[in-house]
Amino acid sequence: MLIDKLLQAAKPYTQNRTIKDLVVGISLIAVQLDDDSVGVSYVLREDLPGGCSVFPYAREMIGVSAAQIADWAAEGRDNIQRAIGNAVLNAASTQQDLPDCSQEGKPFGLHLTGGEKVGMIGMIQPAVMMLKPYNCQMYMFDKGREGQDGIYPAERQAELLPQCQVVFLSGTTTINGTIDQLLRWCAPDSRIVMLGSSTPMFPQGFRGTQVDILAGSWWDGTKKSEIFRLISLASGIDGLRPYMIKKNVKVRP
């Protein structure tokens, strides 16, 4: 599975680190490691269990090995554990030297001629706006927005993704475990971008897949207090943008 490859790629950066702090909001989760790096991940709320005190493990994480918690990205029992593991991966990824690829006015560095069929798993509005001038035929899927205009039912992914020349996959697909099947549905020659703040920024882990670009985010660790406070107040990504360091990295050099 892809998540296992990502954990292996991350191991040199997680094995000597520990968890320094954690905040679990209703939209986002953030982790701070003992080197003061910060990682953020999205909370997939739709499938969380109900009830009070169902996430006691969060209070026990401070000082725990980052490698141990990163494994939750694959082994977590619910979407909170998997998102915490994802946030650890994102924090640890900042230890790498990852140069951004040139975009030169092209969205995510993709050469688009116009009219391409584009699939998007998890609607990310800024990406939609970047593609608008190219008059692409958009097939957008988003479980939290099904029934809204322009959102296709998930049941049509197997039918429509193979038709797409370009596919955007939200980083949350590594949290909910759908990434491997989605990649199998994509055409072998499609150009694939992993997108959003939950994207695990480990290019080595994606080698051998069709994924071309990792368009994720790092975070300004010097603004940890501001980031954690906003997340504790139910902020989404828009509220955190002043502290975001956007990345656009090629999987293959």
Report the C-alpha gap between 23 and 21 in whole angstroms: 7
Residue 199 structural domain: 107-215
Residues 210 and 223 in one domain: no
Residues 83 and 147 in one domain: no
CB neighbours of residue 67 within 10 Å: 19
115: left (phi over 0), alpha (psi -120 to 50) or beta: left
| pLDDT attached to residue 192 | 98
How does pLDDT run across 225-243, given as a tens digit for each residue?
999 999 999 999 999 999 9
| pLDDT attached to residue 147 | 84
| pLDDT attached to residue 199 | 98
Can you tell me the mean pLDDT for 131-155?
93
In the chain, pLDDT over 90 holds for what percent of residues?
Answer: 87
How does pLDDT run across 166-175, given as a tens digit for each residue?
999 999 999 9
**Of the given ranges (94-98, 122-126, 178-182), which has the lowest mean pLDDT?**
122-126
| pLDDT attached to residue 102 | 81
| pLDDT attached to residue 105 | 73
Report the C-alpha gap between 84 and 90 in whole angstroms: 10
Report the C-alpha gap between 171 and 229 in whole angstroms: 23
Q: What is the CATH number of the domain that holds 199?
A: 3.40.50.11590
* Helices marked H in the chain: 2-14, 66-70, 72-75, 79-93, 125-131, 157-160, 179-185, 203-206, 224-232, 237-240
pLDDT at 137 over 90: yes
Q: What is the CATH number of the domain that holds 21?
A: 3.30.390.100
Residues 229 and 193 in one domain: no
Residues 42 and 120 in one domain: no
| pLDDT attached to residue 218 | 98
Can you tell me the mean pLDDT for 67-96?
97
Can you tell me the mean pLDDT for 147-151?
90
Residues 202 and 121 in one domain: yes
> Residue 94 carries which DSSP code?
T
Give the global pTM: 0.94
pLDDT at 128 over 80: yes
Residues 207 and 225 in one domain: no
Q: 248 lies in a domain?
A: no
Residues 171 and 113 in one domain: yes
Number of structural domains (the chain) is 2
Residues 127 and 79 in one domain: no
Residues 111 and 208 in one domain: yes
Residues 165 and 231 in one domain: no
